[in-house]
Each structure stands twice: as C-alpha cells, then as structure tokens.
Amino acid sequence: MELDAIRDQAEAVTLLRRAISTERVAHAYAFVGPEASGRKATALAFASALVERGSHPDVHRLGPTPPPSNPKGTPALRIEAIREMERRAALKPAEAAWKVFIVDEAEKMTASTPQALLKTLEEPPARTVIILILSQLRALPATVLSRCQVVRFRPRVVEGVPALFPDVRGEAHARSLRLLAEAREQGVEAILRLGDQVGRDRPAAEAFVEVCWLWHRDLLCRLAGGAPGLALFGEAPANAGGARSLDHVLGALRDCREAWFALQGSVSPRLSVEVLLGRLTGKAA
C-alpha cells in the first residue's frame, strides 16, 4: 500500500510525505489514534515509501506476544523483544537505505520495557526509523514520547458514525452480555460464578469489562434521546433500562473505567470483575 491509498488522514499523510520529500525523516514516530483509524496501514505505507515495498527485509514488525513459558498467557511487549530490535537496528540495512521497525500495540509494554526502548531512542542508529502504534499518548511514559514525532490519527467515519467501537456481533461479546444479564438477575451467586470462570485470564476480564462499558454506553445514548442506529447492542438497553437515572448510568460508566485501569495494573482479573459487578448490580437495585 502507498501513502496515496490512505483515506481520511490527510494531515498525517501530508506530514509524512513532507518528511520524505525534504529528507527530514525523524528517527522515531508515535502514531496515535483509535483502533481502525488506519495507523498500521499508514505505518506500512510510510515504510514502503522509505524502502520501496512493505515486505522488504528492512521492514520489521513486532507486537505483544505471550510469555515464552506460557503460550496462553497475557500478550505483552517484553524487554527481550526490544533488545532484539536494538540488535537488528545496529546492523546495516539489508538492501534499502533505511531500516523501519513498526511496534504494534505499544501500550502493552511491560513495566521495564520503556526504559529499554529509551536507550535506543536516545542513541538512534543511522538510517533507522521506529514507529510506535498506540491508542493514546498517556499509555507510554513522557520520556519515551518526547523522543518521538507524534502523528495523530482521526477516527474513521462509517455511515456518519466514528468507527471507535468494536464489532460486538461475535460470540465472545454475546456471551459477555449474557453473563452481565445473569449477574443483574441472580446477584452474588452469578457474580462469584463469573469470577471463577475468569480466574487469572486477563484478556477475558478485559473483554467482559469492555462489554459492560459498551452496554451502559448504549443505555446512556437511549436516555439522551440518541438515534436507535447509535446502539451497538440493538434493543438490549431499551428492554433493560427500567427506571435507571442518568446519574446511575454515568456512575456505572465510571466503575467500568476504574475496572479497566485496574486490569492494566496489578489487580487480579477475578477481583476486578467481581468488584465491578458488585457495583453495577448495586446500582441496578
């Protein structure tokens, strides 16, 4: 893909074209924007423009992976991956004039990884470009971002609605929605049962918290008189809204946000889910 093929990101494309034409390519970029905004496609197009084609041996892609000792563990960008990138960056390009490293989901770095990356950013190898792809600036330390040129991506617009939300038509989202309904109807017993199912599975807990947030987001749209087409879960919130007030819904959204931040830290997935459901079912009472 070429930069000409990137849609809805004129500012980002113009900035990158100018960098190439003036030969003022930064040694590091942070492509910041929501999922599905075209960050990865633009990174590959930019890399292609620098080294002629995106599958070039001088274009390297890395992203979160499970721990070597546990293939089912939580994917993350670990210090070993950054050190391997540093080793490759120190080598001369195989064919092109540039080497490009695209780091996907950079917000999933472990606690020690940014410090390892900082070393490479402070002393960048010649003719090397590192592109960090992340959803928001605060996801990485300021010490790292201060050494990157930030390129912002706007949300894509699909049928008049920004494409900020995931497709919730899959079985995983439907299952989480059913579990949320069970917790609201059955109370403590269902909450503990769900906690047992989640256990230490952080991705499963994150997916469930996401569904809780999106469900209450739908309910907020309904209470605010939003168009039916804005709802992600169809009629579910309309059928279950009851007499919930705006304050209750906003409080539930805050609870979901706190649960999400807890999951990004050291709080156990099971505890995060159980506390969230306890608060949500209390608000529904």
Q: Which residue has the higher pLDDT, 91 or 35?
A: 91
Least reliable range by pLDDT among 27-31, 46-50, 142-146, 232-236: 232-236
Query: Buried b / exposed e across 87-114, counting CB within 10 Å, b at 16+?
Result: eebeeebeebebbbbbbbbbbbbbeebb
Find the mean pLDDT for residues 111-120: 90
**Contact present, 95 and 55 (Cβ < 8 Å):** no
Q: Which residue has the higher pLDDT, 94 or 38?
A: 38
* pLDDT at position 237: 47
pTM reported for the whole predicted model: 0.57
> 53-61 contacts: CB < 8 A, separation 24 or more?
54/1, 56/95, 56/96, 57/94, 57/95, 58/93, 58/94, 58/95, 58/96, 58/98, 58/99, 58/100, 59/99, 59/100, 59/102, 60/85, 60/88, 60/99, 60/100, 60/101, 60/102, 61/101, 61/102, 61/104
Least reliable range by pLDDT among 53-57, 74-78, 212-216: 53-57
| pLDDT higher than threshold 60 for residue 144 | yes
Q: What is the pLDDT of residues 241-275, one digit of tens each?
A: 455 678 888 888 999 888 888 887 778 888 888 88
Find the mean pLDDT for residues 50-77: 81
**Contact present, 127 and 93 (Cβ < 8 Å):** yes
The maximal CA–CA distance of the chain, rounded, in angstroms, is 66
Average pLDDT, the chain: 81
What residues form DSSP beta bridges with 162?
A: 157
Q: What is the pLDDT of residues 147-200, one digit of tens each?
A: 999 998 876 655 544 454 555 555 666 777 777 778 777 778 778 888 888 887
